[in-house]
A and B are shown apart, each in its own frame.
Chain A
């Protein structure tokens, strides 16, 4: 369960988030909104890269805002970036291992966990491949495996399907839906692909100009006239 209370973020004169409150309690949740709506900013607040002017964030009963970014990762926060961040000079295996390097469990346990998650995303056969040699989709799959290791509690994806083919996007959707079942983690997905959101998210939050304009079961939210209006004219959905 993730509770966001009255979070406000300003960049100079721009109000990127304006007193946003929302309580995510479903397994998979979506965040949508036009460009510049504040979606990534909300994720940055959760990750600790942006400090809000005011507000509170509570995950599983623990206040997250006082924790340093890497501490939030140790707590169980996982984040996949708009542009996947895979180190070119590490292998697929090592890229995933980094995520649990800090844990004190024995090396063998960590190795087994990394191998299991690589198998889950379908990258087990390429574990020794270097980051530089991966295709865009392979990088994304590695990124997903990285989000799965180390008992995650909250996994966030920022436009994971950006630049992917329809097939790849479907495969990714299936993987994202498996996350809760495999790890118990709650999932948060930002995407412009409304079909992806509709097919995997139970609840969805809609932001526009930094404000919450709708929140609730995905199908209802997508039918909301205010949501349609927010998208109208800004881009084709």
Chain B
């Protein structure tokens, strides 16, 4: 209870980074980079969800981008069907995605090991097909709401109409996502997760309902994924099924491991690799497939030398420089 609002050095660094993102970044970026950073912020939120679940419980979810698609679909659907403000659409999309994720994963959450990875991968494949077949609502008639030609307008949050303001809004949401995870980690669920990761038998013997707390973790990841999808819909005003392929879900999980699932820095590295690196390659006129080569090398690097990811290595290096603060504080 005492530690609930304690800010670690790593926490201060995170707040400072978010402050930089909110106060400085939008005024420096061109419109190209505004859109890159905004979409990076959305994926950062989604990556925070998968990374946290992997770091805290060793659970592998391979459908996070699929869940973003679900959140985005619901946000678009609501936007074109009703007159709710953006925040209501965002909250409803995130909640509905969380429940959707539960329904997908509940059978696998009762089992250990690779089942969750397999079930979520199948779900990602199924979602890919559904999105490709039905597309995303753009103001058309009927349940699927798709019309040909240009779509209807998407209402952004009234405090974030301009691209600069919307980037700030997305970063603030990502910060809230990280704070939500950190808060859980410091309370009862965090204690239960720590024990479950140590040993499920020990957790049960300590009175922890293992299925409940795994489901809870998956729910948080779903919530963040759904919110990320709704924010992405707000950034572009429309969504394209190509964004939500199953391979993208596998990719962001792999990048979360490469970056380092245990810290916010790792999630940020993953999001930068996923969105900023291809944008840079694009500017330099290099084949975007080079990004895959770099990702692959990063994954090998992580598997071979850095179980805590790139962020783990950097933090460890910093920890060596200042003996007082270990990387464990992250």
Question: Footprint of B on A, CB under 8 Å?
Answer: 47-49, 68-70, 73-74, 77-79, 81, 85-90, 94-95, 97-102, 107, 111, 130, 132, 146, 150
Of the residues B198, B203, B210, B328, contact of A86 by C-beta under 8 Å? B198
Taking Cβ atoms with an 8 Å cutoff, the residues of B that contact A are 1, 188, 191-192, 194-195, 197-199, 201-210, 328
Option from B197, B199, B204 in Cβ contact (under 8 Å) with A73: B204
A98 touches B198 (CB 8 A): no
| Cross-chain contact B198 with A146 (CB below 8 angstroms) | no
**Interchain CB contact (< 8 A) of B204 among A69, A89, A100, A150:** A69
Set A70, A79, A85, A88: member contacting B209, Cβ < 8 A: A70
User: Cα distance A233–B206 when bound, in Å?
Assistant: 38
**5 additional contacts (CB under 8 A) given A68-B204, A87-B191:** A49-B204, A70-B207, A70-B210, A79-B205, A98-B206
Q: Which of B1, B188, B199, B205 has the most CB of A within 10 A?
A: B205
Chain A residue nearest to B188 (CB atoms) is: A101
What number of A-B contacts does a CB cutoff of 8 Å give? 76
Partner of A87, one of B197, B207, B328: B197
User: How far does the alpha carbon of A130 sit from the alpha carbon of B329 in the complex, in Å?
Assistant: 11
Residues of chain A with a CB closer than 8 A to B208's CB: 70, 98, 101-102
CB pair B194 A99 closer than 8 Å: no
Q: Is there contact, CB below 8 Å, between B198 and A97?
A: no
Nearest opposing residue in chain A for B198, CB measure: A87
Q: By the criterion CB–CB under 8 Å, are A90 and B195 in contact?
A: yes
Q: Which residues of B contact A94 (CB under 8 A)?
A: 191, 194
Across-interface contacts of A99 in B (CB, < 8 A): 206-207
**Nearest CB on A from B56, distance (A):** 9
Closest to B189 in A: A101
A216 to B205, CA, bound (A): 28
CA distance A138 to B202 in the complex (A): 17
Question: In the complex, are the beta carbons of A49 and B201 less than 8 A apart?
Answer: yes
Given contacts A85-B198, A89-B194, contact A101 B205 (CB under 8 A): no
Compute how far the CA of A86 lies from the CA of B197 in the bound complex, rounded to whole angstroms: 11
CA separation between A146 and B199, bound complex, in Å? 15
B1 to chain A, nearest CB (A): 6
B198 contacts A88, C-beta separation under 8 Å: yes
Knowing A70-B210, A111-B1 touch, does A98 contact B205 (C-beta < 8 A)? no
B209 — which chain A residues lie within 8 A by C-beta?
68, 70, 102
Q: How far does the Cβ of A42 sit from chain B's closest Cβ, in whole Å?
A: 15
- Residues A97 and B191 in contact in the complex (CB < 8 Å), given A70-B210, A87-B197: yes
Q: Which residues of A contact B203 (CB under 8 A)?
A: 70
Q: A73-B207, A85-B198 are in contact. Are A98 and B1 (CB under 8 A)?
A: no
Establish whether residues B202 and A90, one from each chain, have CB atoms under 8 Å apart when the complex forms.
Answer: no
Q: Please name the 9 residue pairs, one residue from A and one from B, whose CB atoms are nearest each other, closest first.
A: A85-B202, A73-B207, A69-B204, A87-B194, A79-B205, A87-B198, A98-B191, A101-B188, A90-B194
Q: Is the CB of A90 within 8 A of B206?
A: no
Known: A48-B204, A70-B204, A70-B208. A101 touches B198 (CB 8 A): no
Select from chain B the residue with minimum beta-carbon distance to A44.
Answer: B201
A-B CB contact pairs (8 Å), 29 listed: A49-B201, A49-B204, A68-B209, A69-B201, A69-B205, A73-B206, A74-B207, A77-B205, A78-B205, A79-B205, A85-B201, A87-B191, A87-B194, A87-B195, A87-B198, A90-B191, A90-B194, A97-B191, A98-B191, A98-B194, A98-B195, A99-B206, A101-B188, A101-B191, A101-B192, A102-B208, A107-B1, A130-B328, A132-B328
- A81: which of B197, B202, B207 is its contact (CB, 8 Å)? B202
Nearest-CB residue, chain B, relative to A150: B207
CB distance from A203 to the nearest CB of B (A): 24
The residues of A that contact B188 with a CB separation of less than 8 Å are 101
* B199 to chain A: closest residue by CB: A85
- With a cutoff of 8 Å between Cβ atoms, the chain B residues found around residue A79 in the complex are 205
Cα A102 to Cα B195 in complex, Å, equals 14
- Interchain nearest-CB distance for A157 vs B (Å): 12
Give chain B residues whose Cβ lies under 8 Å from the Cβ of A69.
201, 204-205
A90, closest chain B residue (CB): B194
B186, closest chain A residue (CB): A94
Which residues of chain B are near A102, meaning CB under 8 Å?
A: 207-209
A99 to B204, CA, bound (A): 10
CB <8 Å contact, B205 and A73:
yes
For the complex, what is the distance from the CA of A78 to the CA of B197, rounded to whole Å?
A: 19
